[in-house]
Amino acid sequence: MGKTRFGIRRVDEFRWVIPKTGAMRAEALVFASERLLAAEGSEGTALEQLANVAHLPGLVGRALAMPDFHFGYGFPIGGVAAFDPAEGGVVSPGGVGYDINCGVRLLATELEADDVRPALATLLERIFEAVPSGLGSHGEAVQLNREELDRCLVDGARWAVERGLGTDADVESIESGGRIAGADPAAVSERAHARGLPQLGSLGSGNHFVELGRVVEVFRADAAEAFGLRAGQLVVSIHTGSRGLGHQVCDDAVRTMGRTAARHGIALPDRQLCCAPLGTPEAEAYLAGMAAAANFAFANRQIIAHQVRGAFRSVFAGQGGALPRTVYDVAHNIAKWEEHHVRGSSRRLCVHRKGATRAFPAGHPEIPARYRRVGQPVLVPGDMGRASWVLVGMPGAMAESFGSTCHGAGRLLSRAQAKRQARGRDIAAELGTRGILVRAASRATVVEEMPEAYKDVDEVVDVVVGAGLCERAARIEPLGVAKG
């Protein structure tokens, strides 16, 4: 319970509070173990960012950080904040991030991972060939004109399925049905259109990947059964977002809103928290553009899933159960209108999740019907050398974090630090000795994304489970990864 740096105080094993001081409108709450909090570093930059979020008007409850939190633009990555328009609440592009609707899709097969081992290298190579990756990569599965792109920005994953790039079952297994309402292509700049036009169906670079994995352990049998997961099963994870289109939408909004806060009398502790009051033209324009970029990302993951299925079809022709089905697809960089109970009443709030995942519990009407009995699948990728998790949302998340939880392991080292630490090492070869294959567009990406660059996802999951936000459903270990 003792006081530590930046005034943060320990509440219990999994919670820490930054008290309200100065112009802060509320406390900030950090979900973390002592070890994970210490890993944030001596300068406390991400903690300071979280305290800064608590200065924004119309904040409901506390500013929140998940255990995978680390330094970001404006908001810390791993940050969650909800705003009420009735109390002067705002929307902030920094609370969503530059890769709008970066998210994860989990695909499951009926194949035994051990049986696939002899064909694993071939399968990974086919996936790498089928899914364009790397900095500036262009999609090849769909050739778009401007009119078709605008339809995609409105209809999201459904647009791709209607063009034969998936099935209705895919759409039913995506957060919000793969379409965020309110999208307006007119709110997307010409520059953003131009950047997005050639990129649909491409992975990009950095921490984006397609990963082959094996379910190594099931924890909640009822949830795993509902999700169609079992020990020994071969699964595929896809992690990417809205590519250059989403980046440009954010960049445009940051430039526009840089002067907005002052016009509305909002004092900001950090200019990267530029924002606009909900309901103003600036806020409406950003939300419409952000929704369009989010729909582009849902369509992008839908097309990549189709490309992955093509790779499976080429390797396992005629083998029943080989084609992967969508378990779930969830966003972790987004601002959404949601109904939440606050102090005994239901309120419509704009919930910012930046590097945080929705985690709705059993019975919530926004969960696909076949999962509603157990709760929402929560997809938590780790690093390419350790593990990933499928969790299930719990009532504690609704009570304490606006239905939110962690989104991954969270960076421990910057990309520059990772490069220095990896000097003289062959990271791909090291992973190969552990039975993990790597196929990447560049050696630099592998170095920047080496396992040691990330926190241990098992420790992150221990916190959100211990805090009652989620429960464990299944643990997945990597077999092979294709990266940009």
**Residue pLDDT, tens place only, 384-405:** 999 999 999 999 999 999 999 9
Please give the model's pTM, rounded to 2 decimal places.
0.96
Helix (H) or strand (E) holding 114, with range, is helix 113-116
- Contact yes or no for 61/25 (Cβ under 8 A): no
pLDDT at 136 over 50: yes
* Average pLDDT, integer, range 334-347: 95
pLDDT at 258 over 90: no
Find the largest Cα–Cα distance for the chain: 66
Range from 63-67, 153-157, 317-321, 422-426 carrying the lowest mean pLDDT: 317-321
The CATH code of the domain at 5-483 is 3.90.1860.10
pLDDT at 415: 87
pLDDT at 1 over 50: no
Please give the Cα distance from 171 to 283 (Å, whole number): 28
CA angle 241, 28, 364 (to 5 degrees): 55
Query: pLDDT exceeding 90 applies to what percent of the chain?
Result: 87
**Residue 306 appears among annotated catalytic residues:** no
pLDDT at 4 over 60: no
DSSP 425: -
pLDDT digits (tens, 9 = 90+) for 463-478: 999 999 999 999 999 9
pLDDT at 138: 67
- Contact yes or no for 305/107 (Cβ under 8 A): yes
Q: Which residues pair with 388 in a beta bridge?
A: 476
Please give the Cα distance from 256 to 47 (Å, whole number): 27
pLDDT at 43 over 50: no
Tokens of 380: 């938590």
pLDDT at 141 over 80: no
* Average pLDDT, integer, range 98-122: 97
Which region holds residue 167: left if phi is over 0, alpha if psi is between -120 and 50, else beta?
Answer: beta
pLDDT at 2 over 70: no
Question: Around Cβ 480, how many Cβ atoms within 10 Å?
Answer: 25
The pairing of strands 388-393 and 470-483 is: antiparallel
CA angle 240, 243, 249 (to 5 degrees): 125
- Closest by Cα among 184, 195, 190 to 289: 184
pLDDT digits (tens, 9 = 90+) for 166-202: 999 999 999 999 999 999 999 999 999 999 999 999 9
Query: pLDDT exceeding 70 applies to what percent of the chain?
Result: 96
* Average pLDDT, integer, range 283-308: 98
- Contact yes or no for 11/19 (Cβ under 8 A): no
Placement of tokens 């696909």 in the chain: 368
- Closest by Cα among 480, 484, 483 to 234: 480
DSSP 76: P
Please give the Cα distance from 303 to 10 (Å, whole number): 45
Check residues 6 and 295 and name the one with the higher pLDDT.
Answer: 295
CB neighbour list of residue 38: distance below 8 Å, 6 or more residues apart? none
The pairing of strands 15-18 and 437-440 is: unpaired
CA dihedral 76, 17, 389, 156 (to 10 degrees): -40
CB neighbour list of residue 69: distance below 8 Å, 6 or more residues apart? 30, 32, 40, 46, 50, 76, 77, 78, 79, 355, 410
* Average pLDDT, integer, range 93-100: 98
pLDDT band at 140 (very low <50, low <70, confident <90, very high): low
Given 208, 306, 340, 407, the catalytic residue: 407
pLDDT band at 439 (very low <50, low <70, confident <90, very high): very high
* CB burial of residue 318 (10 Å; 0-12, 13-18, 19+): exposed
pLDDT at 39: 82
DSSP structure string for 154-183:
HHTHHHHHTTTSS-HHHHHTBGGGG--TT-
* Average pLDDT, integer, range 207-230: 97
- Closest by Cα among 339, 310, 317, 354 to 79: 354
* Average pLDDT, integer, range 337-345: 94
Mean predicted lDDT score pLDDT of the chain: 94
Please give the Cα distance from 8 to 1 (Å, whole number): 10
pLDDT at 13: 96
Which region holds residue 201: left if phi is over 0, alpha if psi is between -120 and 50, else beta?
Answer: left
Sign of CA dihedral 358, 275, 67, 209: positive
pLDDT band at 260 (very low <50, low <70, confident <90, very high): confident
